[in-house]
Chain A
């Protein structure tokens, strides 16, 4: 699903990733671990097509990311995001936030996913009317609505308590068991229990 070959990245003159090569198979749950400054968020940004690497080649679902003509459509159809902070749009309801991300032919999935995630009754509420854990579940629902091939999550439980963290991990694991590739960058070692593959980074290199 993901083939990274000799990925390096610089911020100005500072190199933060060094010649990284690895593969992630379809349906795997990859845990990118490492201390702050290890390069895991930069790697996640590159893998999720938000950042172009300074050098190296990245293939997602057999497509070379640098050569994709319509990256917006590629992101919307193949990739789901879950961020550390829920990043829901505060003037849209839960339903509308998910609908904003949904492609036209996937809108019918919204209520089904909200139901599966146990938040159907929140669909008409606004982000500031629900708890932090519920917001992150909505963010997961938004990531799942287009039935993406890969979900990228950046510190998805960074702002949650352990109970809500477990709920989010279980949701991601469920998605993975349904065939979605999941890539999570996190400090939280609890995620090892769910991961099928772990890449540990230190100073921009794979240990």
Chain B
């Protein structure tokens, strides 16, 4: 009760703490949600239609990978293989759009893209993701100094694809000068996947074959995104911590007399620490809820911002929300620990008129 009243009676300083925590928590929420969203989108693209992925050996990014597409003939003949398809993933300016994803794929994978209107592309044609299509009213588009007829539009749950272009793999091969970025293989028998991986590995010495599950776990780009997200989140945490600690120090300094009174009245040091902790806890929990609502609002808006073409999507899982809640409480307690300890050491003698000593 005292904590609530103290917060109300120090509105400006309480607001400063509330703001520090809100900004820090929002930064943690957004950076981890967006990075998880990016990883989630790319993982989903890879995992949805295949059990095994084949990339060029020693290449850390699928954008730079080049795999011989003729391998597909040999792969399709292997026992327990139900289907395979090849893809080229690239990025290029398209008309006035500075950058967009280009997906060249074999015809047997076109059905992955749900047509909204028109037909799947033939040679010299493309279909546009719905997000990208909103920005083009023309019948053809220019990619890499080559004109492509727009044969239709498609929708996809994956933001990268919604903002991209799909074309025949032969056209993409000419644009990006490669055979295929990767080949995805589906198995008719989940128990045989490891065996198929072994067999495909023996087909060519310049390829790397992994289950899509393992690929996603080990993909360097995901690790870079996760590590960058962790570093930025840690910095946001540290900023929030410093914000709490400095404002709490100001609060403690301005309320010295009050803590002196409490000590003179026989209140223990623990009582003062407990009350200051509780004050910070109340502000932190309110700031956490406020930041959670704001972050959810921003994450909901992100896919609808045309400029971002759906490439920036955030995923906020319950485990992330709980993790950030834990971090917020830890930040609050750690940030108020030292100021509360200083407050609890307030000497009540300051209340006695030393001028008369």
Contacts of A92 in B (CB 8 A): 2, 5
A123 interface contact, C-beta 8 A? no
Q: A45-B352, A87-B264, A101-B265 are in contact. List 17 more A-B contacts (CB 8 A).
A: A37-B356, A38-B356, A40-B357, A41-B353, A41-B355, A45-B349, A50-B352, A74-B266, A76-B265, A81-B264, A83-B264, A87-B260, A91-B5, A91-B6, A92-B2, A100-B262, A155-B356
Tell me, rounded to whole Å, the shortest Cβ–Cβ distance linking A75 to chain B.
4
A8 interface contact, C-beta 8 A? no
B289 interface contact, C-beta 8 A? no
Contact at A76–B267, with CB atoms within 8 Å? Answer: yes
Contacts of B356 in A (CB 8 A): 36-38, 40-41, 155, 185, 187
Partner of A84, one of B258, B347, B353: B353
Contact at B266–A79, with CB atoms within 8 Å? Answer: yes
Tell me, rounded to whole Å, the shortest Cβ–Cβ distance linking B332 to chain A.
21
A72–B261 CA distance with the chains assembled, in angstroms: 12
A42–B353 CA distance with the chains assembled, in angstroms: 9
A3 interface contact, C-beta 8 A? no
Tell me, rounded to whole Å, the shortest Cβ–Cβ distance linking B63 to chain A.
60
Contact at A44–B261, with CB atoms within 8 Å? Answer: no
Tell me, rounded to whole Å, the shortest Cβ–Cβ distance linking A32 to chain B.
10
A51 interface contact, C-beta 8 A? yes
Contact at A50–B266, with CB atoms within 8 Å? Answer: no
Contact at A154–B357, with CB atoms within 8 Å? Answer: no
Tell me, rounded to whole Å, the shortest Cβ–Cβ distance linking A17 to chain B.
9
Indicate with 1 or 0, residue by residue over B8-43, a CB within 8 angstroms of chain A CB atoms. Answer: 110000000000000000000000000000000000
B228 interface contact, C-beta 8 A? no
A63–B263 CA distance with the chains assembled, in angstroms: 20
A83–B349 CA distance with the chains assembled, in angstroms: 11
Contacts of A77 in B (CB 8 A): 266
B145 interface contact, C-beta 8 A? no
A142–B353 CA distance with the chains assembled, in angstroms: 19
A203–B354 CA distance with the chains assembled, in angstroms: 15
B268 interface contact, C-beta 8 A? yes
A39 interface contact, C-beta 8 A? yes
Interface of A is mostly: mixed
Contact at B267–A72, with CB atoms within 8 Å? Answer: yes
Contacts of A154 in B (CB 8 A): 351-353
A42–B352 CA distance with the chains assembled, in angstroms: 8
Contacts of A187 in B (CB 8 A): 356
Query: What band does the interface of chain B fall in when counting residues whose beta carbon is under 8 Å from A?
Result: 20 to 34
A191 interface contact, C-beta 8 A? no
B257 interface contact, C-beta 8 A? yes
Contact at B267–A44, with CB atoms within 8 Å? Answer: no
A42–B77 CA distance with the chains assembled, in angstroms: 99
A151–B136 CA distance with the chains assembled, in angstroms: 86
Q: Which of A29-59 contact B (CB under 8 A)?
A: 36-42, 44-45, 50-51
Indicate with 1 or 0, residue by residue over B254-298, a CB within 8 angstroms of chain A CB atoms. Answer: 000110111111111100000000000000000000000000000
Contacts of A155 in B (CB 8 A): 353, 356
A31–B265 CA distance with the chains assembled, in angstroms: 22
Nearest neighbor of B4 in chain A, beta-carbon distance: A91
The answer to whether residues A51 and B349 also contact, given A39-B357, A101-B265 and a CB cut-off of 8 A, is yes
Contact at B357–A75, with CB atoms within 8 Å? Answer: no
Contacts of A101 in B (CB 8 A): 265-266
Contacts of A39 in B (CB 8 A): 357
Contacts of B260 in A (CB 8 A): 87
Nearest neighbor of A39 in chain B, beta-carbon distance: B357
Contact at A75–B265, with CB atoms within 8 Å? Answer: yes
Contacts of B352 in A (CB 8 A): 41, 44-45, 50, 83, 154
Contact at A76–B266, with CB atoms within 8 Å? Answer: yes
A79–B266 CA distance with the chains assembled, in angstroms: 9
Most buried by A among B260, B349, B355: B349
Nearest neighbor of A75 in chain B, beta-carbon distance: B266
Q: Which of A85-101 contact B (CB under 8 A)?
A: 87-92, 96, 100-101
Contacts of B6 in A (CB 8 A): 91
A99–B98 CA distance with the chains assembled, in angstroms: 68
B348 interface contact, C-beta 8 A? yes
A38–B5 CA distance with the chains assembled, in angstroms: 40
Nearest neighbor of A34 in chain B, beta-carbon distance: B356
Q: Which of A56-83 contact B (CB under 8 A)?
A: 72-77, 79, 81, 83
A183 interface contact, C-beta 8 A? no
20 contacts across the A-B interface (CB closer than 8 A): A38-B356, A50-B264, A72-B263, A72-B266, A72-B268, A72-B269, A76-B267, A81-B351, A87-B260, A87-B351, A90-B9, A91-B6, A92-B5, A96-B5, A142-B265, A154-B351, A154-B352, A155-B353, A158-B353, A185-B356
